[in-house]
Amino acid sequence: MGTASAHLFLLDGGAPARVELFEGLDGRGAWYTPWGDPPDVRSMSVDAEGIVYVNVHVGGILRSADGGRTWRPTIDLETDVH
């Protein structure tokens, strides 16, 4: 699950658990919204190969191919995806 302030949670055994590795990403401190509020996770998707994509407003699109253990940017952080 994606939340306000750009957090991710995983439902594992019923209780949501924060994805701590997403919290410490390089460049996270540069995420923002144009109006000055904290960034948000706007959308998430998983492709047929199980790669997870997370769109952060404004923070680009990040991808994880290993269940959320590592994350890589896919586009420039300044690309505001709608």
Mean pLDDT (the chain) is 91
Q: How far apart are CA 38 and CA 15, in angstroms?
A: 25
Residue 80 reports pLDDT greater than 90: no
With a pLDDT cut of 70, the percent of the chain lying above it is 99
Mean pLDDT on 19-34: 91
Boundaries of every domain in the chain: 9-73
Please tell me the pTM assigned to this model: 0.89
Give the per-residue pLDDT at 8: 95
- Which stretch of DSSP H or E encloses residue 21? helix 20-23
| Region of residue 38 (left: phi > 0; alpha: psi -120 to 50; beta: else) | beta
Residue 82 reports pLDDT greater than 80: no
